Amino acid sequence: MNKFFQILAVAVLMVNVAVAQVKWSADPAHTNARFDVKHLGISFVDGEFTKVEGTVETATGTGFNNAKVNFSIDVNSIDTRIAARDNHLKTDDFFAAEKFPKMTLKSISFTNAKVKGKYIMIADLTIRDVTKKVTFEVTQNGGIITDPWGKTRAGFTAKTKINRQDFGMKYNDKLPSGVEAVASDVDIIVNTELVLN
């Protein structure tokens, strides 16, 4: 009977090792969430959120397939380089930042694409307390490195497109021609450097 318990204990330890997670943190100095949106049908306005926090868990320290991704964005950190525009974007026309100060991103799946260094992430994106499944194309930029200070790092760029009105941003002024003053479709790019904890 003692032998049975010894085997059981070893099996439990092996399972624990198998599911052990490697933890990474987004370096806030090298992480941002950017966006581009068409203005008046003729040009683009871009901006970024400068305060982004994130964690990633992986099964090993050498690969990111099936990673678990959690990011949080401070809506009040929005920066389009024009204070009046930033303030408008924080109102109920768009982000309603006072009521909904955070956007969140939580992965559902993170899988290898057919090209090396490419992944597909399906994630729950929450804006204004509305959660939708969104698909991101993710590129790992340059593999995993050891920086000059001895830390292990990996860099990623994730891209997607959303319809802002799906998330409750109902601002919908139009030109006499019917063209949206601010387009509904928004391109999103997230850049991050992850640091191994």
> Checking DSSP bridges between strand 102-112 and strand 118-127, what pairing results, if any?
antiparallel
In this prediction, residue 176 carries a pLDDT of 96
At 141, the pLDDT band (50, 70, 90 cuts) reads: very high
**Longest alpha-carbon distance in the chain:** 84
pTM for this prediction: 0.86
Q: Each residue of 17-68: pLDDT tens digit?
A: 445 599 999 999 999 999 999 999 999 999 999 999 999 999 999 999 999 9
Query: CA 30 to CA 20: how far, in whole Å?
Result: 27
Q: How many CB atoms lie within 10 A of CB 160?
A: 17
In order of their start, the domains of the chain are 20-196 (2.40.128.110)
Query: CA 154 to CA 19: how far, in whole Å?
Result: 21
Query: CA 33 to CA 187: how far, in whole Å?
Result: 11
